Each structure stands twice: as C-alpha cells, then as structure tokens.
Amino acid sequence: MMKQIVYFGIMYALIFTGFYVTNGFLTIIYPNEAFIGFAIFYGLYGIASLLSPYLYMKLNLIAALILSSFTFLIYVGFASSKLSYMMLVGSGIAGVGNAVIWLIQGIWMSEFPDSENKSLWIGIFFGIFNVNIIVGNLISIIILIASESSISIMMWAMIGVTGIGFSMTFFVSFIIRNTNSQNTIDQNINVKEKTTEQEKEEKSFLHVLKKVFTVISINKGYLLIPFFLAQAISLNITYQIITRLLIINSRNIHEDPNIYNAAMYLAYGVSAIIFSIVWGKIYDKFGYKLVLGFYLSLELTCLIGILMLNKFSSNGPLGYWIIIGFVRGMIDNAINSIINITIARYYPKNGSYFFALYRFIYAVSYATFSVCIAYIQYEYILLIDCVIAIISTICYIYFFIYYSKLITNNNVELTEVKIDQNI
C-alpha cells in the first residue's frame, strides 16, 4: 500500500505542479481575464463531476488517468501562450480532466484495505502531493531571479515538469499489479466482463446521475455541504484575493511582485506538506474536534490578519504576505483533510458518488466565488468566508454526533445498504 501511495502522490504532484504555479501567476499574466479562466475551469469542472462516475465506468483506470492528466499539460501550454482565448480554452479542457482525475483519487482512497489508518494514508498522500507547490514555486523563484523575471521561461519549465507527471500515468498498472492490496481499482484495469441486464441498467447514465444526487441523503450527508463551500471560498482567497492584494502592495512600494508571489506560495507549499500529514495524524489520535478547532481559529485569525495587513501595512514589507501564505496552507489543508477523511471513512459503499457530488458542489461554488471576486469588494468576500467557516463547524459537529449515535446503535452499515438499494 505504501508503494502505491508514494507513486500516486509523486505522480499527482508532478501533474499539478504546472497547474498550481500557473494559477498563482494567472492574475499577473492575464490581469483582465484571469477570473474568467477560473470561472470556466470550475464551471466545467462542476458539470463534468456529475458525469465523471459514468465516464469512469466506461473507461478503465489507466485510460481515464492518461486522458485526464493530459488535459493539464494542455492547460499549462495554452496559458503560457499569453493569448487570452488560448488560456480560456485550456481552462475548459482542464476543468473536465480535473473532475475525472480527482474522482480516481477519491475512489482509490475510499477503498484502502486498512480502514483504521485511512486518515494517515490520506495525510501521507496529500503530504507528498503538496510537494508540487514547493517544487513549482522554488523553480519559479530560481528562474525569475536568473532570467530577470521572465515568466515565459518559467512557464516552459512548468510544461516540462507536468509532462514528467503525465508520462508516469503509463506505468500505473505495473505499480498496482505488483502490490499485495486487492481492491476494486485492480478490477478496473482489466477488460470488463459481460454484465446482466440489471447491472447494465445500474451503469446507465441516468441511474448514476440519480445516485450522485441521492447519496447526499445517506446519514445526513448534506451536513457536509457547508465544508464544500468553505473549501471553495478559502481557495479563492488563497489564489485570487491574496495575489491581488500583493500586487497592489508591490505597486505602492515599487517592487516586482513576481518573486514575492512565488515566495508566498513556496511558504504555502511548505505548510501544506507539513499539515497534510499533521492533520491526518491528529484526526486519528485525537478525533475531529481538535482539527476542527484549529481550522476555525486559524481561519478567523487569518482573515483579520489579511484585513489589518492591507489596511495598515499597504506600504510595508511584502514579506508579511509570506506569513499569510504559510497560514493559508494550514487552513486549506485542514479543510481538505476533514472532507476527504470523512467521505473515505464514513461513506465507503458510496464513495465514488459522494466524491462526485462533493466535487460538483465545490467546483460550482468556486466558479461563483471567482466571479464575485471580480465585482465585489474583497472585504465582503472575507466576511462571507467567516460566516461559512462558522456554519461549517457547527454542521460538522452535528453530523458527527448523528453518526456516532448510528455507530452506537450498530445501524451504519444497515442504513447505507437500505438507502443504497432504494436509489
């Protein structure tokens, strides 16, 4: 299992290196069209999320992984063209690929054979995955300094790194087949056998779509929706609002924002790697309450810090934004850990459908908030984030209390099966 986690983690990290670096610089490269690119990416990502379980059933794991990873190579390449229409087309293509590649990750994690250590395995995967932020931004800083802030050279380097990750998808079948774990993913690699009429009906598009939306009723799964919204607005703050404020700050003191922007996301990456693993271990050892408490307190503190930094230090050192970047890494990965651990641990029978629904709600919310950022003052976005963070915390506590009662009454498995049969 560890071999699979390391390989998948490195592969995903390389595939997404160029993607996240490009996102971090998109507002700088396309100051007037960046928010449209984000909206297109997440809008199509949301729509494709509803289709992804159906597409996954029609394709085997390798084909789905190769095709979806290739879309990120297209995205980085098109964005590097500095032609806005190419960037927008690439955003749409990668949005579709993003739905499939993250569904594969969600299904794979929900089927870990070692259920007691799922939180730790998830933490290790995302810890390795988040290396992409450090690698990408470290390369960016070196290139920007060496080439006197040439973003074009930096983007070519990102194409190369993403290409290496893409090439690794061709060897996934070898990695999986040479491990001892036996799960559903192994079956997806082989040619599918003939199915009965009933099984064909269960794999029809309408049936799959119905299950995606119905799964939210299982054991009050709708209580997790506020956290999907929280993740969407939190990442918008990380990748759009903070970048915009940094640019404004740099203009006030006549500094080049490129290197500071890369340094800020480098700090974000360091934090993401550390706390991807830390949150998983804390969740396993101390339960959800400690992770939830840290998340809410950090989120509220960071929002106040952003406001104070922009209002009272607009002409101050840009290094302050590096601290903000580190804290955002803690926050974003706390949300990510809570969502992924909860779905993988408490919805193993319906993991693929729940992950599809989660990605759909998250993507549509991200697209909505992305457009709002272009037209609404950032202070109001921070206020909305504050409200959603509080609501998310309350809903998750209620969800966990409800689920704990089901466990006590030994009804969890029966409840899932009964509802699942009626879908």
In order, the DSSP letters of 249-263 are HHHHTT--HHHHHHH
Q: Coil, helix or strand for 212?
A: helix
Which residues are CB-contacts of 148 (< 8 A; sequence separation ≥ 6)? none
Quick one: pLDDT at residue 394?
A: 95
Q: Alpha-carbon distance 230 to 234, whole Å?
A: 6
Q: Which residue is associated with the tokens 């549509």? A: 364
Q: What is the average pLDDT value for the chain, to the nearest integer?
A: 79
- Side-chain-side CA neighbours of 203 within 13 Å: the count stands at 13
Quick one: pLDDT at residue 414?
A: 38
The domain locations on the chain are 2-189+201-422
Two tokens, residue 422 = 């009626």
CATH T-level topology, domain 2-189+201-422: Growth Hormone; Chain: A; (1.20.1250)
Q: Coil, helix or strand for 348?
A: coil
Quick one: pLDDT at residue 389?
A: 95
Q: Alpha-carbon distance 253 to 193, whole Å?
A: 65
Low-confidence ranges of the chain (pLDDT < 50): 179-194, 201, 411-423
- Torsion 351-165-325-79 (CA) sign: negative
Quick one: pLDDT at residue 420?
A: 38
Express the helix, strand and coil content of the chain in percent, nearest 5 each. Answer: 85, 0, 15
Quick check: pTM over 0.95?
no
Quick one: pLDDT at residue 341?
A: 85
Q: Alpha-carbon distance 306 to 263, whole Å?
A: 17
Max CA distance (Å), the chain? 69
Which residues are CB-contacts of 260 (< 8 A; sequence separation ≥ 6)? 246, 250, 318, 319, 321, 322
**Helical (H) or strand (E) element with 388:** helix 378-408
Q: Which residue is associated with the tokens 């390449």? A: 77
Quick one: pLDDT at residue 205?
A: 66
Among 151, 164, 133, 161, residue whose Cα is nearest residue 326 = 133
Quick one: pLDDT at residue 227?
A: 94
Q: Coil, helix or strand for 46?
A: helix
Q: Alpha-carbon distance 76 to 86, whole Å?
A: 10
| Phi, psi (degrees; rounded to nearest 5) at 166 | -60, -40
Which residues are CB-contacts of 360 (< 8 A; sequence separation ≥ 6)? 46, 47, 49, 50, 212
CA distances from 93 to 131, 291, 292, 305 (A): 24, 35, 35, 36
